[in-house]
């Protein structure tokens, strides 16, 4: 069996590292990681040890060192700010693209790199940076396939649409039916927890997709022990929430309720979705993530009818109507679960919740990248 040794760049909280560790039937491991954020490095060390990760700028990586690292795969999630809808969309003119571009320029001179997995924000697919990337990869002998995927595609109640690229040198992807392929908007193979095959067929009767036994085995393995692994195929939010949470500690402040009550993204325990959590969660309002209604005896409709009736004339009455809903933020642990990190993931004791939210907002969804790693090496 081929040994795959991974260099994890822009490592963040180590989502790719967990995804690699989840590949129980493959000879693959992360041997080195680079990350510049000090708090991310501390967290990474708590979970994966002190020897794997280096706190350094990727621009310092040379061709000689990349060869010397003795790796044949690179997994990375480069900065998304040049492409995000909330940014200035400077694309290749944003200095935060420099490190990513530097890595790409090393590839033609490093024949040892045979596999790539790249994640970025929705919007990257229409960027000049993507055009440059594909040109370099294809001229370097890589076959590529691209996806736009969200955890909701896999039964996880959190919307986090992201761009993914898989690339292999001199190895075509057997599932790709188009040449050149378009960006795929669904995962190629069946990811149902319990596979139901058509008679004398390899097609799942539930999702109508082809069954890849390696990937199906991976899904079954990780749905069998949700709390010890990552959560999948549990579509209700209550499966991801703490049973006992200090509502007052995580309550949405009165000033936010009064001023921004009508743009809060409210969710209940029985909802099957939530908005993407960003690094601005809890200190930005619009588009930064959902909040949870904890009082099940008061309807949202009743509370908001009173809120909108009194908002302009009696602010205290308007505020009281929303207070009854007991609206709180999702805790860092709950966001972590929605990002499909295992429940035994460790945070340094000195990190604030604000820092945890920021780091999680920049992270990958572990379940999605776990399946993509499997697709990269097993398809």
pLDDT tens string 9-52 = 999 999 999 999 999 889 999 999 999 999 999 999 999 999 99
8-state DSSP, 239:
G
Give a yes or no: residue 126 inside a domain. yes
For residue 229, what pLDDT is reported? 42
Q: Are 232 and 193 in contact (CB under 8 A)?
A: yes
Rounded to the nearest 5 degrees, what angle is found at the Cα of 39, between the Cα atoms of 151 and 370?
25
Return the DSSP state at 30.
E
> How large is the average pLDDT for residues 148-152?
96
* DSSP, residue by residue, 313-341: T-HHHHHHHHHTT-EEEPPHHHHHHHTT-
Let me know the angle formed at the C-alpha of 67 by 64 and 70, rounded to the nearest 5 degrees: 145
Instruction: Give the total number of structural domains in the chain.
Output: 2
SS3 266: strand
At residue 194, the pLDDT reads 65
Rounded to the nearest integer, the mean pLDDT of the chain is 90
pLDDT at 228: 38
**Does 8 share its domain with 88?**
yes
| Domain presence at residue 78 | yes
Residue 288 lies inside a defined structural domain of this protein: yes
Q: How do residues 14-26 score in pLDDT, each as one tens digit?
A: 999 999 999 988 9
pLDDT of residue 61: 95
Residue 202: predicted pLDDT: 85
Question: Are residue 33 and residue 103 in the same domain, yes or no?
Answer: yes
Same domain, 254 and 162: no
Q: Are 153 and 261 in the same domain?
A: no
CA nearest to 73, candidates 146, 162, 169, 183:
169
Q: What is the pLDDT of residue 378?
A: 87
**Assigned domain for 359 exists:** no
Q: How many CB atoms lie within 10 A of CB 298?
A: 15
207 is catalytic: no
**What is the pLDDT at residue 206?**
82
pLDDT of res. 184: 94
Provide the pLDDT for residue 187.
Answer: 93
Query: If phi over 0 gives left and psi between -120 and 50 gives alpha, with beta otherwise, what is residue 194?
Result: beta
Query: What would the mean pLDDT of 321-330 be, rounded to a whole number?
Result: 97
Whether 44 and 182 map to the same domain: the answer is yes
Among candidate residues 80, 97, 190, 340, the one labeled active-site is 80
Domain check: are 43 and 138 in the same one? yes
Task: Give first-to-last CA distance, the chain, whole Å.
Answer: 15
Provide mean pLDDT across the span 66-90.
Answer: 85
Q: Are residues 369 and 314 located together in one domain of the fold?
A: no
The closest alpha carbon to 223, from 198, 215, 206, 27, belongs to 215
| Per-residue pLDDT, 230 | 44
Per-residue pLDDT tens digits for 347-366: 999 999 999 999 999 999 99
Average pLDDT over residues 285-296: 95
Phi, psi of 223 (to 5 degrees): -85, -15
Q: Which residues pair with 116 in a beta bridge?
A: 74, 167
Is residue 209 one of the residues assigned to a domain?
no
We report the CATH number of the domain holding residue 41 as 3.40.50.150
Q: Which domain holds residue 319?
A: 243-330
Sort strands 4-9 and 73-76 into parallel, antiparallel or unpaired.
parallel
Q: Cα(184)–Cα(215) distance, rounded to whole angstroms?
A: 18
The CATH number linked to 271 is: 3.90.120.10
Task: Give the DSSP per-residue string, 154-181.
Answer: GT-S----EEEEEEEET---TT--SSSP
pLDDT tens for each residue of 176-215:
766 666 899 999 998 886 666 666 678 888 888 888 888 8
Q: Would residue 167 count as lying in a domain?
A: yes
Looking at the domain assignment, is residue 279 inside a domain? yes
Q: Are 11 and 34 in contact (CB under 8 A)?
A: yes
Q: Are 43 and 88 in contact (CB under 8 A)?
A: no
d(CA 167, CA 148): 15
- The reply to whether 63 and 109 lie within a common domain is yes
Q: Does 223 reside within a domain?
A: no
306 shares its domain with 370: no
């Amino acid at each position: 069996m081929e040994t795959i040794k991974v260099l994890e760049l822009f490592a963040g909280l180590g989502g790719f590292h967990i995804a690699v560790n989840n590949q129980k039937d493959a000879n693959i491991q992360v041997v080195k990681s680079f990350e510049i954020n000090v708090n991310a490095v501390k967290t990474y060390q708590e979970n994966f040890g002190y020897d794997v990760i280096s706190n350094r700028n990727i621009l310092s990586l040379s061709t000689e060192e990349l060869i010397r690292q003795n790796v044949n795969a690179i997994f990375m999630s480069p900065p998304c700010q040049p492409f995000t809808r909330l940014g200035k969309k400077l694309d290749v003119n944003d200095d935060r693209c420099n490190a990513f571009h530097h890595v790409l320029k090393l590839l033609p001179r490093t024949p040892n790199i045979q596999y790539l997995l790249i994640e970025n924000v929705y919007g990257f697919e229409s960027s000049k940076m993507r055009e440059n990337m594909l040109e370099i990869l294809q001229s370097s002998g890589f076959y590529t396939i691209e996806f736009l995927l969200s955890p909701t595609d896999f039964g996880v109640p959190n919307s986090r649409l992201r761009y993914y690229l898989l690339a292999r040198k001199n190895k075509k992807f057997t599932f790709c039916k188009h040449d050149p392929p378009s960006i795929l908007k669904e995962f190629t193979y069946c990811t149902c927890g319990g596979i139901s095959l058509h008679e004398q067929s390899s097609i799942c009767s539930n999702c109508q997709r082809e069954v890849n036994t390696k990937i199906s085995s991976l899904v079954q393995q990780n749905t069998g022990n949700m709390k010890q692994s990552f959560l999948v195929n549990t579509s209700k939010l209550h499966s991801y929430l703490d049973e006992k949470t200090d509502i007052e500690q995580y309550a949405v402040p009165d000033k936010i309720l009064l001023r921004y009550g009508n743009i809060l993204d409210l969710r209940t325990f029985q909802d099957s979705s939530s908005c993407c959590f960003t690094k601005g969660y809890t200190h930005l309002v619009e588009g930064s993530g959902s909040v949870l209604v904890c009082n099940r005896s008061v309807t949202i409709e009743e509370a908001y009818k009173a809120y909108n009736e009194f908002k302009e004339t009696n602010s205290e009455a308007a505020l009281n109507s929303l207070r009854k809903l007991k609206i709180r933020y999702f805790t860092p642990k709950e966001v972590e679960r929605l990002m499909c990190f295992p429940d035994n993931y460790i945070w340094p004791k000195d990190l604030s919740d604000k820092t945890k939210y920021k780091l999680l907002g920049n992270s990958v969804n572990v379940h999605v990248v776990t399946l993509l790693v499997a697709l990269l090496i097993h398809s």
